[in-house]
């Protein structure tokens, strides 16, 4: 309801809740690794049998409905944090429960419980069933496991990595930051990890399970110079094995944060007004996510409240623009082996050579449009119902070199780093916050700029992309969360350098 909470993109969730540094507390002793990756986790650990699920599904459909599903989740999250030189704080959280959903057309009944016993699950199923008011038939179901690939194989479960192994990463980031510049006065650093196990079973006969890791290492630095202060942060992570966090990663986190803060001392807020904007590679994909991605989530389109709802099959961009939402890129934060309704992870082309070809679907919207679900049905946790959500969204490479793109601009803005953004779905109007960039004057990068909001309109901006570079970069962050309907899910994005003919730059003086 609320525009602010509806969908705003938060780049770094540095204060994420987080977890035991060991095993889940329900574990009956530690697993060996092979054991841990064995299937049927919820059956082994909590006695969730097919027969019990069938009973609950039957209850969920007792008043009728198209289908019902159960979503079991056990998530352990950990965070260790450093302030004033020492790793002296830790937070952890354990979340366990099951969400029960009854779907009738486009209507959803939803109940959940934190107790995985028959009585509590049947009660939650009664809540879900209230969405419908017929007399349901007991479903006759034959279940089969969904075959999935693994886009985030783990050598070791993060929950098996002792705290002693994590401490040096965070301490290392701190020490590296201080060694990089005498201007560094404060460093906050931390390592966050989450291990989510899910099991989905539906009245349509689908059974699916997954183990979804997510982790990141971050630094937030404050520099002081001549009485002025600047702050910058950086994080690297995704759905990674712990071996990903090498000394090079530690250095890169520290170096990038410090360098980003250093340049801000010379940065200005640019003049206000309309001007050409060059998006540098990587993080600027936030703009794709906001300006285009959200509007192509199918729930907004089936309700006809998106500005893109009448544009399917039509030209929305120049022929050199292709935009993809892809859940299959190894290790990225938005990758999923299976979505939260049991649809396998996949790659979806949204805009193919300038033509809008597909929305992003969950099961409800796929039924509405009579297409296959695209594996975009996601939810924050067992307490939330599914919505179509992005995974890793990016623009494919184009023919130009980044140098030529910058050279083509007489006077404009070059965007290097973006912290957050927001869109109004119906109008397509969006904003994204540039934490770092440069002025472009006579085809050259000049003064650094900072802390400026850039405004535009999604469909207009898409048509205004006039050059696309050959230098696609995907973000390597693990802290990126996308918010919609009060739910946050991890996602990533990417972008080659590209030129947008004109956008509104929110500067401090008249241009």
- In DSSP terms, which residues pair with 325 in a beta bridge? 348, 393
Q: Looking at 39-96, list the stretches that DSSP marks H as alpha helix, in order from N- to C-terminal side.
A: 41-46, 50-60
From the number of C-beta atoms within 10 Å of its C-beta (0-12, 13-18, 19+), residue 292 rates as buried
Strand partners, 102: 68, 109
Nearer to other proteins, 44 or 303 (CB): 303
DSSP 400: B
- Which residue is listed with tokens 């904007």? 277
Three-class SS string for 271-338? CEEEEEEEECCCCCHHHHHHHHHHHHEHHHHHCCCCCCCCCCCCECCCCCCCEEEECCCCCCCCCCCE
Considering just the CA atoms, what is the radius of gyration of the chain in Å? 24
Contact (CB, 8 A) for 152 and 331: yes
Nearest distance in Å: CB 30, other proteins: 12
Q: What is the DSSP string of 231-265?
A: EEEEEEEES--GGG--HHHHHHHHHHHHHHHHHHT
- We find the least distance from the C-beta atom of residue 360 to other proteins, in angstroms, to be 19
User: b vs e for 2-33, b when ≥16 Cβ sit within 10 Å of the residue's Cβ?
Assistant: eeeebbbbebbbbebebbbbbbbeeeeeebee
Q: What is the C-alpha to C-alpha distance for residues 414 and 446, in angstroms, rounded to an integer?
A: 9
Q: How far apart are CA 215 and CA 270, in angstroms?
A: 35
Complex with other proteins: residue 193 or 230, whichever CB lies closer: 230
Rounded to whole angstroms, how far apart are CA atoms 193 and 254?
A: 19
Query: Is the Cα torsion angle 121, 123, 124, 126 positive or negative in sign?
Result: positive
Whole-angstrom distance, CA of residue 487 vs CA of residue 469? 34
Cβ-based nearer residue to other proteins, 78 or 335: 78
Strand partners, 420: 10, 433
Select 222 or 445, whichever has its Cβ closest to other proteins.
222
């Amino acid at each position: 309801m609320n525009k602010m909470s509806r969908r705003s993109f938060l780049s770094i969730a540095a204060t994420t809740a987080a977890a035991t540094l060991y095993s889940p507390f329900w574990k009956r002793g530690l697993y060996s690794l092979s054991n841990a990756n064995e299937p049927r986790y919820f059956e082994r650990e909590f006695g969730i049998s097919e027969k019990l699920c069938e009973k609950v599904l039957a209850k969920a459909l007792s008043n009728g409905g198209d289908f019902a599903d159960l979503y079991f989740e056990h998530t352990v999250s950990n965070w260790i944090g450093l302030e004033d030189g020492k790793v002296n704080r830790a937070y952890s959280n354990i979340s366990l429960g099951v969400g029960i959903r009854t779907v009738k057309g486009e209507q959803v009944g939803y109940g959940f419980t934190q107790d995985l016993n028959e009585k509590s699950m049947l009660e939650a199923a009664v809540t879900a069933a209230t969405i419908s008011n017929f007399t349901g038939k007991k479903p006759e179901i034959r279940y089969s496991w969904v075959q999935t690939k693994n886009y985030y194989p783990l050598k070791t479960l993060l929950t098996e990595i002792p705290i002693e192994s994590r401490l040096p990463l965070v301490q290392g980031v701190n020490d590296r930051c201080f060694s990089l510049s005498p201007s560094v006065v404060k460093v906050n650093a931390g390592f966050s990890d989450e291990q989510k196990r899910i099991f989905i079973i539906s009245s349509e006969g689908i059974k699916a399970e997954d183990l979804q890791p997510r982790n990141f290492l971050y630094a937030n630095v404050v520099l002081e110079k001549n009485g002025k202060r600047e702050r910058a942060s950086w994080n690297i992570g995704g759905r990674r094995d712990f071996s990903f966090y090498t000394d090079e990663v530690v250095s890169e986190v520290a170096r990038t944060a410090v360098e980003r803060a250093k340049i801000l001392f010379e940065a200005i807020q640019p003049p206000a007004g309309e001007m050409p904007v060059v998006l540098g590679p990587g993080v600027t994909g936030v703009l794709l996510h906001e300006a285009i991605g959200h509007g192509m989530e199918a729930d907004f389109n089936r309700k006809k409240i998106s500005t893109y709802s009448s544009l399917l099959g039509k030209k929305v961009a120049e022929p050199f623009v292709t935009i993809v939402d892809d859940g299959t890129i190894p290790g990225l934060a938005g990758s999923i082996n299976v979505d939260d309704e049991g649809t396998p992870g996949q790659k979806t082309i949204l805009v193919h050579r300038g033509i809008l070809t597909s929305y992003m679907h969950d099961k409800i919207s796929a039924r509405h449009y009579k297409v296959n679900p695209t594996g975009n049905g996601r939810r924050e946790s067992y307490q939330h119902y599914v919505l179509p959500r992005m995974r890793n969204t990016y623009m494919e490479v184009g023919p130009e070199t980044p140098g030529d793109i910058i050279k083509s601009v007489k006077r404009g803005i070059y965007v290097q780093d973006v912290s957050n953004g927001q869109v109004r779905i119906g109008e397509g109007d969006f904003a994204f916050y540039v934490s770092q960039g440069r002025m472009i004057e006579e085809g050259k990068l000049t003064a650094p700029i900072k802390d400026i909001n850039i405004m535009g309109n999604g469909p207009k901006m898409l048509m205004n992309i006039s050059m696309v570079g050959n230098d696609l970069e995907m973000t390597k962050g693990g802290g990126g969360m996308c918010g919609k309907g009060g739910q946050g899910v991890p996602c990533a994005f990417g972008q080659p350098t590209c030129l947008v003919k004109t956008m509104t730059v929110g500067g401090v003086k008249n241009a």
